[in-house]
């Protein structure tokens, strides 16, 4: 599309100009190939920055190492040998970064090792903590410095190794002599950062970014190589720093935790941190190491319906009902072909109860374990396939729809389940079993615990084989696992393999989809939340829209698509932006979920958001009377064709707002970009151009319409827009070129192919 358009516009180009154009085009293609190969070969989450010349220079007078990019110092490390954090190189206070405007600031004012010394956990800045330097050197482009942190008569020795790659300072920290005294790494707060703001990135749930002095900064631990037991984003209540302490300081990053195991010892500290400062926000975002999942194309060809009770409406309404519809037959009759159905709440002991023992499917008619008296999903029969409407005349397979069951091998439930060994449950540092849910609730959640994820694989293999034989799903859905921050599931039993390690949990969960693929021979979807960690390992992810700020999620989150489209998109397929009860939750922190059906305008808000992120559609069927049959037609007509066409596409351009700014420029000039109540600044208008010619405009701004022009006509479009003074929802060929996108839920997608 772009080559043809350029040739038409410049049909009179001279030979020399043509050669220059072609040379530029070849360079662009080579950059794309190199970038693609780099990302496929990526082994760490270190950000990608421009290539250039890196040098490290030592100034003995200043006692500083300067880390240069293309001859300019952009980081410094002070190596002084004072006893306190502010006059030595023992903490991250010794590391400064240079902002784009030339200001030097501290990304981590007094970060460093937390340690258990003289039976007291001490932080780097606390009274009585002192430091001693052993030596420092510059060897093979690496600064090496050895330190001792002391308190009372106790100490811990450790080593810093600092390198620079592109614009990223790599900071490696390791305790010496296999010491187990380190209890974590403190990243603290920035300092001397003017106009400081926290930047929240949709789908990046382990940390936030910093904006200050016209620059973006990321500082985070390498979760692929960590030896820690936990990596958690800071709680929003920790962000603020009182003005009495500093007006140029804010907390934005994360916490790295080393908890002790049941034997009282911790794993030795060994971490790699990445510090990147740039005027371009894309250059501070982490990369993802996952492969390209093997069945993402299959997943992208389906609209997913997550079907919960009451089940009787699946095919036959009950005699006593005033509502007369056959849910799936009606969807089929309305032309919706490509549906993948996840059946919920079929389990023997009820939903989220009695795991992993889920079969035979529960007879809800007896109400033995039912909280709400839902009718049985299907027929009273001892045949589990028929019981779940798989093989009967009125069945999902008979309609040509794919079927999965809700499966969970991360949690185990003591009530009613004799099929697991309690010794396979994970335990906390004190040896008490890790609780899977808060106590209470209709599903006897007080009996829920977490498995050791190494043992989970055994249960997954055993029970998925039984499900395969007795029911025969043709795709898989795994609850919780890909939603989890591995921190939650770490087993601290010192007798277990890789006890107390985040990385062990991460790698175990990444292995789950392969097991399920071997059973069901279809794609595997995982639940969303921290799912960026599992992109490429799962074929498909239910893409709940969260940020590292637990108060900013769903419809309230800015329409900031860069991380999703540039880092995650090429590895897996994605469905939805979160089930509607999460997407429209009044207060997730207080566990207040949406508890009523969506209006049609809300469904369109959800759909517009899916299109902005290039995701396929997902529908949560929960209420008897709702608009999900209409939503299925909407998703099938407007979203599915776009998601299928974009599965292998790469974004060439992502621009925001009326002025068509990059994310970097928009966020810089709109301080309230993440506040949906800020009708001046909110980041709600996005334009994405893909390398296959598809163009997407989405308007989620709460009050402003947006008029856009598509320069070519006569091709396939999908839009919810005002055309010729009339609001229309349309998909098909169109000769219109001017579209006014209404607030909240307007869009136009142009596909020239």
Secondary structure of 184-205 as H, E, C letters: EEECCCCECCCCCEEECCCCCC
Query: Does position 612 have pLDDT exceeding 90, yes or no?
Result: yes
Whether the Cβ atoms of residue 342 and residue 406 lie closer than 8 Å to each other: yes
Q: What percent of the chain has pLDDT over 90?
A: 76
Query: Does position 116 have pLDDT exceeding 60, yes or no?
Result: yes
Whether the Cβ atoms of residue 360 and residue 347 lie closer than 8 Å to each other: no
Residue 416's pLDDT band (boundaries 50, 70, 90)?
low
Residue 205's pLDDT band (boundaries 50, 70, 90)?
very high
Q: What is the pLDDT of residues 207-257, one digit of tens each?
A: 999 999 999 999 999 999 999 999 999 999 999 999 999 999 999 999 999
Nearest to 329 by CA among 419, 415, 394, 426: 394
Structure tokens at 504: 């062990």
Instruction: State the pLDDT at residue 312.
Output: 58
Look up the CATH number of domain 54-284: 2.70.98
Q: What is the pLDDT of residues 553-575, one digit of tens each?
A: 999 999 999 999 999 999 999 99
* Residue in this structure with the two tokens 């932080």, named with its chain if needed: 123
Query: Does position 689 have pLDDT exceeding 90, yes or no?
Result: yes
Strand pairing class (524-526; 726-734) = unpaired
Instruction: State the pLDDT at residue 153.
Output: 93
Structure tokens at 713: 């006509």
Secondary structure of 144-169 as H, E, C letters: EEEEEEEECCEEEEEEEEEEEECCEE
Whether the Cβ atoms of residue 538 and residue 525 lie closer than 8 Å to each other: yes
Whether the Cβ atoms of residue 291 and residue 113 lie closer than 8 Å to each other: no
Nearest to 103 by CA among 217, 220, 214: 214
Whether the Cβ atoms of residue 111 and residue 124 lie closer than 8 Å to each other: yes
Q: What is the pLDDT of residues 480-532, one digit of tens each?
A: 999 999 999 999 999 999 999 999 999 999 999 999 999 998 999 999 999 99
Q: In what helix (H) or strand (E) does residue 741 lie, and over which residues does it extend? A: strand 738-741
Q: What is the pLDDT of residues 718-745, one digit of tens each?
A: 999 999 999 999 999 999 999 999 999 9
Range with the poorest average pLDDT among 108-122, 216-230, 466-480: 466-480
As a whole number, the mean pLDDT across the chain is 89
- Mean pLDDT across the stretch 334-355? 87
- Mean pLDDT across the stretch 44-68? 97
Query: Does position 622 have pLDDT exceeding 80, yes or no?
Result: no
Q: Can the peptide bond before residue 120 be classed as cis, meaning omega within 30 degrees of 0?
A: no
Instruction: State the pLDDT at residue 14.
Output: 34
Residue 351's pLDDT band (boundaries 50, 70, 90)?
confident
Instruction: State the pLDDT at residue 364.
Output: 46
Instruction: State the pLDDT at residue 337.
Output: 92
Q: What is the pLDDT of residues 289-312, one digit of tens each?
A: 999 999 999 999 999 999 876 665
In this structure, the dihedral spanned by the alpha carbons of residues 485, 487, 490 and 494, taken in order and rounded to 10 degrees, is 160
Structure tokens at 447: 């009996």
- DSSP state at residue 182: E
Q: What is the pLDDT of residues 366-394, one digit of tens each?
A: 444 333 433 344 444 455 555 566 555 55
Q: What is the pLDDT of residues 135-176, one digit of tens each?
A: 999 998 999 999 999 999 999 999 999 999 999 999 999 999
Structure tokens at 259: 């908890």
Q: In what helix (H) or strand (E) does residue 370 lie, and over which residues does it extend? A: none
- DSSP state at residue 77: E
Residue 365's pLDDT band (boundaries 50, 70, 90)?
very low
Instruction: State the pLDDT at residue 625.
Output: 62
Q: Residue 78: left (phi > 0), alpha (psi -120 to 50), or beta?
A: beta
Residue 313's pLDDT band (boundaries 50, 70, 90)?
low
Q: Residue 96: left (phi > 0), alpha (psi -120 to 50), or beta?
A: beta
Range with the poorest average pLDDT among 27-36, 64-73, 354-363, 638-647: 27-36
Q: In what helix (H) or strand (E) does residue 697 lie, and over which residues does it extend? A: strand 695-699
Query: Does position 438 have pLDDT exceeding 70, yes or no?
Result: no
Instruction: State the pLDDT at residue 9.
Output: 32
Residue 5's pLDDT band (boundaries 50, 70, 90)?
very low
Instruction: State the pLDDT at residue 391.
Output: 57
Q: What is the pLDDT of residues 703-717, one digit of tens each?
A: 999 999 998 888 999
């Amino acid at each position: 599309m772009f080559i043809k358009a350029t040739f038409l516009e410049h049909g009179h180009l001279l030979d020399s100009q043509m050669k220059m154009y072609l040379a530029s085009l070849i360079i662009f293609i080579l950059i794309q190939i190199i970038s693609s190969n780099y990302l496929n070969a990526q082994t760490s989450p270190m950000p990608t920055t421009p290539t250039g010349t890196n040098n490290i220079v030592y100034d003995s007078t200043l006692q500083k190492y300067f880390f240069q990019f293309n001859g300019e110092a952009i980081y410094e490390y002070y190596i002084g040998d004072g006893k306190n954090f502010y006059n030595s190189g023992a903490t991250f206070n010794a590391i400064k970064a240079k902002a784009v405007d030339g200001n030097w600031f501290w990304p981590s004012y007094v970060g460093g090792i937390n340690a258990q010394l003289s039976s007291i956990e001490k932080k780097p800045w606390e009274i009585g903590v002192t430091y001693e330097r052993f030596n420092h050197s510059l060897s093979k482009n690496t600064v090496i410095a050895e330190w001792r942190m002391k308190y009372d008569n106790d100490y811990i020795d450790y080593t810093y190794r600092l390198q620079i790659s592109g614009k990223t300072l790599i900071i490696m920290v390791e305790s010496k002599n296999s010491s187990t005294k380190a209890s974590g790494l403190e990243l603290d707060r920035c300092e001397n950062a003017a106009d400081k703001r926290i930047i929240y990135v949709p789908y990046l749930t382990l940390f936030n970014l910093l904006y200050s002095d016209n620059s973006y900064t990321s500082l985070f631990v390498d979760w692929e190589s960590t030896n820690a037991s936990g990596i958690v984003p800071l709680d929003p209540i920790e962000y603020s720093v009182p003005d009495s302490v500093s007006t140029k300081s804010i907390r934005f990053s994360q916490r790295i935790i080393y908890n002790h195991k049941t034997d009282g010892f911790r794993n030795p500290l060994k971490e790699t941190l990445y510090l990147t400062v740039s005027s371009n926000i894309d250059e501070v975002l982490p990369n993802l190491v996952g492969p390209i999942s093997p069945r993402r194309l299959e997943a992208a060809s389906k609209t997913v319906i997550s079907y919960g009770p009451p089940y009787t409406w699946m095919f036959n309404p009950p005699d006593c009902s005033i509502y007369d519809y056959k849910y799936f037959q009606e969807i089929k009759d309305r032309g919706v072909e490509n549906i993948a159905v996840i059946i919920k709440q079929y389990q023997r002991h009820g939903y989220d109860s009695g795991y992993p023992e889920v079969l035979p499917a529960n007879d809800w008619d007896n109400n033995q374990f039912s909280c709400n008296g839902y009718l049985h999903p299907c027929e009273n029969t001892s045949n589990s396939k028929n019981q779940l409407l798989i093989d009967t005349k009125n069945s999902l397979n008979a309609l040509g729809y794919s079927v999965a069951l809700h499966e969970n091998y991360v949690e185990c439930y003591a009530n009613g389940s004799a099929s697991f060994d309690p010794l396979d449950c994970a335990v906390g540092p004190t040896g008490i079993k890790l609780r899977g849910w808060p106590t209470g609730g209709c599903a006897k959640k007080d009996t829920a615990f977490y498995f050791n994820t190494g043992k989970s694989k055994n249960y997954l293999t055993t029970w998925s084989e039984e499900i395969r034989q007795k029911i025969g799903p043709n795709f898989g859905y795994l609850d919780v696992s890909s939603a989890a921050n591995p921190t939650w599931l770490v087993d601290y039993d010192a007798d277990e393999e890789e006890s107390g390690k985040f990385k062990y949990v991460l790698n175990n969960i990444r292995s789950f989809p392969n097991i399920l693929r071997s059973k069901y021979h279809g794609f595997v979807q995982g639940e969303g939340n921290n799912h960026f960690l599992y992109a490429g390992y799962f074929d498909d992810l239910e893409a709940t829209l969260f940020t590292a700020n637990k108060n900013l999620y769903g419809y309230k989150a800015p329409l900031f698509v860069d991380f999703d489209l540039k880092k995650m998109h090429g590895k897996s397929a994605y469905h939805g932006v979160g089930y509607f009860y999460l997407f429209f939750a009044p207060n997730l922190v207080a566990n207040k979920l949406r508890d009523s059906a969506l209006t049609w305008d809300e469904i369109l808000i959800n759909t517009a958001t899916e299109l902005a992120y290039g995701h396929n559609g997902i529908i949560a069927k929960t209420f008897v009377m709702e608009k999900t049959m209409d939503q299925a037609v909407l998703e099938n007509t407007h979203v599915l064709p776009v998601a299928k066409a974009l599965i292998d596409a790469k974004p060439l351009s992502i621009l925001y707002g009326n002025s068509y700014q990059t994310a970097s420029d928009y966020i810089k000039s709109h301080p309230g970009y993440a506040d949906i109540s800020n009708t001046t600044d909110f980041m709600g208008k996005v334009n994405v151009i893909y390398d296959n010619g598809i163009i997407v405009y989405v308007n989620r701004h709460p009050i402003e319409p947006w008029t856009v022009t598509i320069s070519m006509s006569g091709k396939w479009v999908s839009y919810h827009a005002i055309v010729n003074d009339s609001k229309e929802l349309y998909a098909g060929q169109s000769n219109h070129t001017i579209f006014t996108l209404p607030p909240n839920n307007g869009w136009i997608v142009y596909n020239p192919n």
